[in-house]
């Protein structure tokens, strides 16, 4: 199998960063990346980059472009450390570990590349790509189990759905399987929206709409609004989520330590809390108008 090498450099002054990067490419690097440090002081989704006076770099080399002695000498001031790695098809490696799994009852999630062996199963096929939502994360599992449970009980008005933070579209697809007719999936990330559309096609769901956050109309009311997003963003979108809810609102992505704050903020909007559910460090809240 083909090998490659990573050259690690540290302690690069801010003013020398661009010069070092340019020099690495001249020395045969196929790619260069800066090693960043992050901090997340608030509940907001995006962490912040911590500014650093001295930078660290990873540079990637193919064996035929590698002159170890020259690299060691040229970058001696930055503590060069060269590590050899086996090249891998990371997508294939990941696919080996993503297997069909049972969510609740006869509901199963299948990778799109695996054949369904038991045709009696209720199946959602997913090819996640780089989007969030394989169904294995606790926040997604909480949503799926709640939607499935309430659908089986007949507790939903199975009309329209707004799926905010749709990712792969897995929750929209579950609503589709459970008889909802008008489904809008909202996703901020361009690549995730494309993957969501692909997963709709894989599951022969042709009527679902996939919109960006700028395209969605929060003035329209939906029978069910489900939002699986980190709790800080749920609070930011609070008025939009409540305003677009006709009956049921399901919120997930809430850390247990933030449950009370989220609960209080949404109760103050005139909603009734129906139930709370927990898995690992996460909480789901089901409200109703």
- 65 or 225, which is more confident: 225
* pLDDT value at 158 more than 50: yes
pLDDT digits over 28-61, tens only?
A: 888 898 887 766 565 444 556 778 889 999 998 8
Provide the pLDDT for residue 44.
45
* pLDDT value at 181 more than 80: yes
Provide the pLDDT for residue 132.
63
Output the six-digit token pair for 270. 């005139």
CATH class name, domain 138-288: alpha beta
Provide the pLDDT for residue 43.
47
Give start and end residues of each alpha helix (H) in 154-189.
170-177
Provide the pLDDT for residue 258.
95
Going through 87-221 in order, the beta strands assigned E by DSSP cover 101-104, 107-111, 122-126, 160-164, 182-186, 209-211
Residue pair 129/111 in contact (Cβ under 8 Å)? The answer is no
The CATH code of the domain at 3-87 is: 3.30.70.120
The b-or-e profile of 48-79 (16+ CB within 10 A means b, else e) is: eeeeeeebbbbbbbeeeebeeeebeebbeebe
Of all residues in the chain, the percent with pLDDT exceeding 90 is: 59
What's the chain's average pLDDT?
A: 88
Provide the pLDDT for residue 93.
57
Provide the pLDDT for residue 91.
54
pLDDT digits over 189-210, tens only?
A: 898 999 999 999 999 999 999 9
Provide the pLDDT for residue 276.
98
Residue 286: how many CB atoms within 10 A of its CB? 24
Q: Where are the domains of the chain?
A: 3-87, 138-288
Provide the pLDDT for residue 45.
45
Provide the pLDDT for residue 286.
98
Same fold, 3-87 and 138-288: no
pLDDT digits over 80-116, tens only?
A: 998 887 765 555 656 666 788 888 888 999 988 888 8
- 163 or 44, which is more confident: 163
pLDDT digits over 239-283, tens only?
A: 999 999 999 999 999 999 999 999 999 999 999 999 999 999 999
Dist. CA 175–CA 262, nearest whole Å: 25
Output the six-digit token pair for 282. 């996460």
Half-sphere exposure of 119 (CA within 13 A, CB side): 0
Dist. CA 108–CA 272, nearest whole Å: 31
Lowest mean pLDDT of 10-24, 44-58, 139-153, name the range.
44-58
């Amino acid at each position: 199998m083909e090998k490659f090498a990573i050259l690690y450099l540290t302690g690069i002054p801010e003013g020398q960063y661009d010069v070092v990067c340019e020099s690495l490419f001249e020395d045969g690097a196929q790619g260069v990346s800066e090693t960043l440090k992050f901090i997340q002081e608030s509940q907001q989704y995006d962490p912040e980059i911590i500014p650093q006076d001295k930078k660290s770099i990873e540079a990637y080399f193919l064996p035929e472009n590698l002159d170890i002695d020259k690299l060691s000498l040229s970058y001696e001031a930055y503590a060069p450390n060269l590590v050899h790695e086996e090249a891998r098809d990371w997508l294939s490696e990941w696919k080996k570990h993503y297997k069909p799994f049972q969510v609740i009852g006869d509901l199963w999630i299948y990778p799109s590349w695996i054949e369904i062996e038991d045709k009696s199963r209720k199946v959602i096929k997913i090819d996640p790509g780089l989007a969030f939502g394989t169904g294995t994360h606790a926040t997604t599992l909480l949503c799926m189990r709640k939607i499935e449970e309430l659908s089986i009980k007949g507790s939903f008005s199975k009309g329209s759905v707004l799926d905010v933070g749709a990712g792969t579209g897995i929750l929209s697809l579950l609503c589709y399987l459970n008889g909802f007719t008008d489904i809008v999936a909202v996703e901020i990330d361009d690549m995730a929206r494309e993957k969501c559309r692909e997963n709709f096609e894989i599951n022969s769901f042709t009527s679902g709409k996939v919109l960006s956050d700028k395209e969605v109309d929060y003035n329209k009311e939906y029978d069910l609004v489900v939002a699986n997003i980190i709790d800080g963003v749920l609070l930011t979108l609070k008025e939009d989520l409540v305003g677009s809810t006709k009956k049921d609102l399901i919120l997930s992505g809430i850390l247990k330590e933030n449950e009370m704050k989220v609960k209080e903020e949404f109760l103050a909007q005139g909603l009734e809390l129906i139930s709370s559910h927990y898995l690992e460090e996460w909480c789901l809240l089901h409200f109703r108008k």
